[in-house]
């Protein structure tokens, strides 16, 4: 990875921030392999995954997400 940036997306556009700091630690994943693995690991821990669902808010109880 030779360039680092972060993009914030909205329905109307995007803003991108570029990093000029050398020596940062970067990594990349193949989403087609990573996403199914992450879902399987989350489900092993009791997470209910709902593909296509939009999350509007995270409810917390005792410092943990619960809904």
- Read off φ and ψ for residue 13, nearest 5 degrees: 170, -160
Total domains, the chain: 1
| pLDDT tens, N- to C-terminus, the chain (67 residues) | 777 888 999 999 999 988 877 776 777 888 999 999 999 999 999 989 998 999 888 889 998 888 7
Is 48 exposed, middle or buried, given 0-12, 13-18 or 19+ CB atoms closer than 10 A?
exposed
Q: Which domain does 13 fall in, by range? A: 4-65
- The confidence score (pLDDT) of residue 4 equals 82
Q: DSSP string covering the chain, please?
A: ---EEEEEEETTEEEEEEE--TT-------HHHHHHHHHHHHHHTT----TTPPP----EETTEE--
The residue among 62, 2, 50 whose CA lies nearest residue 26 is 2
């Amino acid at each position: 990875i030779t360039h680092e940036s972060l993009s914030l997306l909205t329905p109307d556009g995007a803003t991108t921030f570029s990093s000029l700091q050398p020596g940062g630690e970067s990594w990349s994943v193949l989403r087609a392999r990573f996403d199914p693995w992450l879902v399987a690991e989350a489900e092993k821990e009791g997470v209910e995954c709902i593909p296509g669902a939009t999350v509007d808010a995270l409810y917390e109880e005792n410092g943990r997400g619960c809904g």
